Structure 1
Amino acid sequence: MTTVEKQLLASPRNHRYILIVTFITVILFIWSMTVVSFKDMNAGGMKIALNIFKGITHPDLHLLFNVSKQGVPYLLVQTLAIAFLGTIVGAILSVPLAFLAASNIVPKPISWLTRFLLIIIRTIPALVYGLMFIRVSSGPMAGVLTIAITSIGMLAKLYVDAIEELDTRVLESMTSIGCTTFEKIRYGIFPQLLSIFLSVTIYRFDMNMREASILGLVGAGGIGAPLIFAMNGYKWNQVGSILIGLLVLILLIELISNKLRARLIKGV
């Protein structure tokens, strides 16, 4: 028996805690199943699913490779631009909010107030923001603003966690040798946070790419609107073309983002 196995067997067993958690989980699962209804499932829905599958296997190649503004490549690039610009704007705005929410940087009342603001931002769904901003600026700009706001809620929270885990001994030593506040931020804080901030931002961009695709449904630019129009018009071969392009783009972005994040994590 290995040392790890001995330590595992020697660890205390809290059977009461395990039983309580299991019981609560089972009760919640049963309660959740009561709101699920299968009576609305019919042959029409299965037919639509089959038509979508046929559309994916027989896509409209002209739409898929058309480089005009109505083609899939242009719409994918527009969606990518919305997600990228929204992520950058959200990341920039998240940095000062994160420092204001960090209890080890600012007084606790300010920290609590900023955290409450971030909770409110995270509570509102992206589609609601999209419907709000579409009244201000239609098209891709509304998508950028929506992505930026929704990014702030998540990024600022993760930035705060990183800030509160700072090695304060570095700052204390810099204070003892007479460094200014700017020098402490530049040489003491940013070197510890930069890799983590970048890694989190790349992860959020990966998520925003999917959200930008959905935001097109409310007219916030991108590929979502042509997708819903094609589905409403029962043009399943066009739906297949759009889904294939979207799938390829998301897979490429996820592959690249995972490699970048892995390198950043190794460098921490």
Structure 2
Amino acid sequence: MNAIEKQLYASPNHRRYIIFITSIVLLLLIWSVTTIDLQNLESSGVKIASSILSGIISPDLQLLFTFTTEGVPYLLVETISIAFLGTVIGAFLAVPLAFLSASNVVPSPVAWITRFFLIIIRTIPALVYGLMFIRVTGPGPFAGVLTIALVSIGMLAKLMVDAIEDLDTGILETMTSIGSTTFEKIRFGIIPQLLAMFQSILIYRFDMNLREASVLGLVGAGGIGAPLIFAMSAYRWNEVGSILIGLVVLILLVELGSNHFRKKLVRG
């Protein structure tokens, strides 16, 4: 019993560390709250909020179920297309960059240079890329596809590098000892280990890109974002409600589909 008590009292005491971290968090929280200025809150804010809620409750059904280029279904399909094509192009470019960033595949200097390049890509927000591509290609879905592709490269390559660096090299060494060619090692030793992980990463990124594509419409890069901002600027809350309902339904369907595919990948 004495030995147990000595061991208990000899355990490290983290009380000071916890108090120190808690104090810092509280100070940051208090400092952040002081930046909130309720005096700038417009008197019509409550009225606008109630108008938005009423628009969601009573949406414009004609806009919601019209299958024209101005209807919500067409805009949602356009948004999905932008996200899907951008994800595919970004993945096609991210795979070689991921291998060039893996320190167990290429020399360390090459890996660090490639990783620095990917960090630069990830640093710039998607909206900035969207504004840049709109100046180059003009407003429209093509600018959105290029933006999604470029934004996807950085994150996809980062996640793929982690999978590549976790490769079981013992399998490759065994294949080398039995005289396998480089193609055979890639086909039977590397691809089976990475395929499921890469597919899961792509599904996750497509889910994120769908939301990015919705936001990119705000700057004119196609999709459902542009009609949403126009309807809000004109205070057409019924149209806003229709667009938001369609967007929520789309996100839910994609979420259910992506979860289903991920479960199938995990189960093999």
Specify if TM > 0.5: yes
The 2-side partners of 1:11 and 1:223 are apart by 58
Task: Verify the 8 A CA contact 1:55 1:238 in the aligned structure 2.
Answer: yes
The CA deviation at 1:259 is 1.2
| Residue identity opposite 1:78 in structure 2 | E
Correspondence for 1:149? 150
Separation (CA, whole Å) in 2 of partners of 1:201 and 1:42? 43
Match of 1:39 in 2: 39
CA contact (8 A) 1:196 1:265 kept: no
> Deviation at 1:14?
3.4
Instruction: Give the secondary-structure state (helix, strand or coil) at the position aligned to 1:42.
Output: coil
SS of 1:135's partner is helix
**Partner of 1:259 in structure 2?**
260
User: Which residue number in structure 1 is paired with residue 5 of structure 2?
Assistant: none
* Structure 2 counterparts to residues 110-149 of structure 1, below 5 A: 110-138=110-138, 139-149=140-150
Give, as a single letter, the amino acid of the residue that structure 2 aligns with 1:207. Answer: M
Mark the CA change 1:192 to 1:52 in structure 2 (over 3 Å): closer, same or farther.
same
**Which consecutive segments of 4 or more residues in structure 1 shift more than 4 A?**
10-13
Amino acid at match of 1:50: S
Determine which structure has more spread, i.e. the larger CA radius of gyration: 2
For 1:70, the aligned partner's letter is E
Aligned residues: 258
Does residue 1:181 correspond to 2:182, yes or no?
yes
- Superposed CA offset, 1:106-156 (max 9, x none): 111111111111111111000000000011213001000000111111111
Question: For each residue in 1:228-254, what CA deviation from the matched residue of structure 2 results, as whole angstroms up to 9, or x when unmatched?
Answer: 111111111011111111110111000
Using the TM superposition, name which of 134-143 and 13-22 deviates more. Answer: 13-22
SS of residue in 1 equivalent to 2:59:
coil
Instruction: Output aligned runs, 1:13-92, within 5 Å.
Output: 14-92=14-92
Structure 2 segments unaligned to the other structure (5+ residues): 1-9
Q: Does 1:201 align with 2:202?
A: yes
- CA distance, structure 1, for counterparts of residue 44 and residue 193 of structure 2: 56
Instruction: Mark the CA change 1:17 to 1:104 in structure 2 (over 3 Å): closer, same or farther.
Output: farther
| CA RMSD, 1 decimal | 1.6
SS in structure 2 at match of 1:186: helix
What's the counterpart of residue 239 of structure 1? 240
Matched AA of 1:250: I
The 5 A counterparts of 1:153-168 are: 153-168=154-169
Q: TM-score if structure 2 supplies the norm length?
A: 0.92
Distance 1:111 1:17, change over 3 A: farther
Give distance in 1, aligned partners of 2:218 and 2:172.
48
- How many angstroms apart in 2 are the aligned matches of 1:135 and 1:66? 31
Give how far 1:177 is off.
1.3
What residue number does 1:7 align with? none
3-state secondary structure, aligned to 1:59: coil
Q: Cα deviation per residue 1:173-199 (whole Å; 9 max; x = unaligned)?
A: 111112222221111111111111110
Give TM-score scaled by structure 1 length.
Answer: 0.92
**CA deviation after TM superposition for structure 1 residue 17, in Å:** 3.6
Letter in 2 for 1:60: D
Identity %: 68
CA contact (8 A) 1:86 1:145 kept: yes
Give the aligned residue type for 2:150: I
Q: Distance in 2 between matches of 1:95 and 1:180?
A: 22
